[in-house]
Structure 1
Amino acid sequence: MRPADFSTLVLRSLTAAKMRSSLTALGIAVGICAVTLLTSLGEGVRDYVLSNFSQFGTRIIAINPGKSMTGGMGGLLQTDRPLTLDDAQALTLLPHVTHVVPIVQGSGTIEANGRSRSTDIIGANHAIHSAWQFELALGRGLPADESGRSRSFAVLGDKLQQELFGGQNPLGQSIRVGGMRFRVGGVMAAKGQMLGFDLDDMVFIPVDKALMLFNRNGLMEIDVVFSDSASTEQVLASIRQQLITRHGAEDFSLISQDDMLQSLNNILRVLTAAVAALGAISLLVGAVGIVTIMSTAVRERTSEIGLLSALGASQRQILLLFLAEAVALSLAGGLAGISAAIALVLGLQLFLPALPLQLSLFYLGLALLLSIAIGLAAGITPARQAASMNPITALRAE
């Protein structure tokens, strides 16, 4: 059988019952569209999360107290020796280190101008603005005083200063942070949110004042930013050696931004694949539709199968003929579903730009391959039935 004749037979068999073929392809199209939309949402969320973490830069190493846990009060309680301001100062002497930021975090009430607001309080040093890539909209950043003798200046987030001062200029105004008096020295430029944390609704105070405010003797974290002239492994090794020398043991945990981003990337890719697998369940409906229509076609075209066999068509050619029809139906549905999904994603990005949707060529190609695989899997049984028919019995069926 010539390829041109083969293609003509496949096309005619599909167009002979247009409504039936269209409805069968629609079942596949709906499933492929669902898979494409879900993977687009998963990819969008992945890009959103990774971009949020990357906004502080990628050459950051976080040091947390405690070996078994990586941060918070849990790590602080499990270490014999907490991280201190002296540790942070010692890390500034290491080669390739550009910024060291000691951090204490808590929450409290901020009072100013007859108003009050409960929000997060970050204790840090003057390097936080460069290390975390925070730009100032007004005034200056945290004072670069010696540890333990910092002046009582605070920097407000953009949203917090709007809530406390409205349209007034907050610079030089007096505020109370958890009962301690500070003077507003600057206002951060709008930064937005990161994983539910509103970076604009925070107040930043000197780290030594934060230790006093929260009655702590150790830091919650030290962030180290290093230059691109050194590898992450080199800086990790020098930090580890410096702190072991000071503490006498490795009672701390090191997490590089690269490791964190890679771990997040892997987790979110698995979640995207899991969501796509859930969406693929809807493809079972389309697969059942293909099995049904192809089984019906085999019964309706029994005499045609007998005639093809009488004209010299082999069992393999008949099997491939019906299998090609099933794949063509599934592929048509897959292309329609992908086209609909792309149109929906582009429309949603236009009217709902905040919705994290991201088309991925990898998942688009995978969806297309999936539609072909479904056609092959659903069409193999009816195709075998057609190929195994006795030519004489099939001719008598008319």
Structure 2
Amino acid sequence: MHSADWLHLVFSSVRYNPLKSLLTALGIAIGIAAVTLLTSLGEGVRTYVMDNFSQFGTRIIAVSPGKNDTAGMGGVLNSVRLLTLDDYQSLINLPYAEHVVASVQGTGPIEFGERVRNTDIYGTTPSMVQAWDFPLASGRFLPQTQGGNSRAFVVLGHKVWQELFKGSNALGQFIRVGGQRFRVIGVMKPKGSMLGFDLDDMVYIPADRALTLFNREGLMEIDVVFSAATTSENMREIVRKRLVERHGQEDFTVVTQDEMLESLNSILSVLTLGVAALGSISLLVGGVGIFTIMTTNVRERTPEIGLLRAIGISRQQLLSLFLGEAVLLSVIGALAGMFGALALLAITSLLIPDFPVQPSPLYLIISLIFSALIGLFAGIGPAWQAAKLSPIEALRDE
């Protein structure tokens, strides 16, 4: 049998009863649509999270107190020294260090007159705006001070400024931060959110003032932004050696931004694969539908099978005809579901531009191949049943 004849017979079988073919393909279409929507959402979330983490740059070394790979009582005894402002000062003059930022964070009431807003209070150092690219709308950021005795200055996030001052000038005004009196010297431009954390709904005060305010002895983290003239691994080793010299032991954790992004990407990729697997359950249900319909077709088309065998079609060719029909139904359903899901995603993107959806070509191709395989395996049983029919017995049904 020629390829053209084979294709004609396969397509004719599908066109013979369009309603039955449509209902058969519908199960696969729903499954592919589910996979497409779920993986697009997963990829969109992954891209959104990665972009948020990368907006501060990738040449970053983060130092946190305590050693992550210690355990038990030994780990507790090893992590006896906190990160201090003296540690921060010691890292400023490191080779390749462009900006060093110390941070400590808490929450508390921000008061101006009768207006009160409970929000995040971020203790930091003057180079934060350059390191994280946080532009100011007005005024200036926290000034550099000597001796670790900073003045009671505060810089307002954009949303805090709007809530407390209703758009009026805040520079020079005095507010209370956690019950203490601070003078407003700047207002930040809108920065948006990162992973649900509103960067505009906070105030910024000197790190040493924050330690006193929160009754803390050590910093939460020290970040080093380094130049492109070195690698992250080399810079990590430089930071590690400096702090070991000061602490006498490695009772801290140094992590590069590359490592953080790589770990985060791996976790989110696994989650995307997980939701794809959940969506694939619908494809298996569609495969059961194809198996059922193809089994019914074999019984309804027994005389046709006998006639084909009588005119010389071999069992292998008959087997390929029914398998081709099953695969064709599966692929038609897959394409219909895929294009339907993509159309829905396009409409969603137009109506909600910030909604994190991003179709992945890789997952689309894999799901299309997977649906074809499901059609192939679902059609094996009915096709084998048709191929085993005796021509004489099949023609008797006529």
Do the structures match in fold with TM over 0.5? yes
Residue aligning to 1:165: 165
Residue aligning to 1:80: 80
> Which sits farther off after the overlay, 54-63 or 245-254?
54-63
Residue aligning to 2:186: 186
- The 5 Å alignment of 1:322-361 reads 322-361=322-361
Are positions 1:34 and 2:34 aligned together? yes
- Three-state SS of the structure 1 residue aligned to 2:81 is coil
Q: 1: CA distance between counterparts of 2:126 and 2:69?
A: 28
> Which sits farther off after the overlay, 32-41 or 84-93?
84-93
Residue aligning to 1:263: 263
Residue aligning to 2:207: 207
Q: After superposition, what is the alpha-carbon deviation per residue over 1:354-392, rounded to whole angstroms, capped at 9, x for unaligned?
A: 221111111111221121111111111111111122222
Residue aligning to 1:381: 381
Residue aligning to 1:15: 15
- Three-state SS of the structure 2 residue aligned to 1:19 is helix
Q: 1: CA distance between counterparts of 2:270 and 2:147?
A: 44
Residue aligning to 2:245: 245
What one-letter code is carried by the residue in structure 1 that aligns with 2:265?
A: N
- Three-state SS of the structure 2 residue aligned to 1:282 is helix
Are positions 1:93 and 2:93 aligned together? yes
- Three-state SS of the structure 1 residue aligned to 2:338 is helix
1:109 deviates by 1.1
Q: After superposition, what is the alpha-carbon deviation per residue over 1:89-109, rounded to whole angstroms, capped at 9, x for unaligned?
A: 111121111111111111111
Are positions 1:123 and 2:123 aligned together? yes
1:151 deviates by 2.0
Are positions 1:197 and 2:197 aligned together? yes
Q: 1: CA distance between counterparts of 2:39 and 2:169?
A: 46
Q: 1: CA distance between counterparts of 2:136 and 2:247?
A: 36
**Corresponding pairs, count:** 394
Residue aligning to 1:286: 286
Mapped contact 1:41–1:357 kept (Cα < 8 A): yes
Q: 2: CA distance between counterparts of 1:14 and 1:109?
A: 70
1:79 deviates by 2.2
- The 5 Å alignment of 1:385-396 reads 385-396=385-396
- The 5 Å alignment of 1:44-123 reads 44-68=44-68, 79-123=79-123
Residue aligning to 1:139: 139
Q: Percent identity?
A: 60
> Which sits farther off after the overlay, 216-225 or 332-341?
216-225
> Which sits farther off after the overlay, 275-284 or 32-41?
275-284
Q: 1: CA distance between counterparts of 2:360 and 2:243?
A: 43
Q: 2: CA distance between counterparts of 1:333 and 1:36?
A: 13
Mapped contact 1:76–1:218 kept (Cα < 8 A): no
> Closer, same or farther in 2 for the Cα pair 1:163/1:76, shift >3 Å?
farther
Q: After superposition, what is the alpha-carbon deviation per residue over 1:132-176, rounded to whole angstroms, capped at 9, x for unaligned?
A: 121111111111112512222111100001111112101111111
Mapped contact 1:160–1:201 kept (Cα < 8 A): yes
Q: After superposition, what is the alpha-carbon deviation per residue over 1:251-280, rounded to whole angstroms, capped at 9, x for unaligned?
A: 001121111111111111111111121122
- Three-state SS of the structure 1 residue aligned to 2:86 is helix
Structure 2 unaligned runs (5+)?
none
Calculate the TM-score normalised by the size of structure 1: 0.96
Q: 2: CA distance between counterparts of 1:52 and 1:278?
A: 27
Calculate the TM-score normalised by the size of structure 2: 0.96
Mapped contact 1:28–1:287 kept (Cα < 8 A): yes
What one-letter code is carried by the residue in structure 1 that aligns with 2:304?
A: E
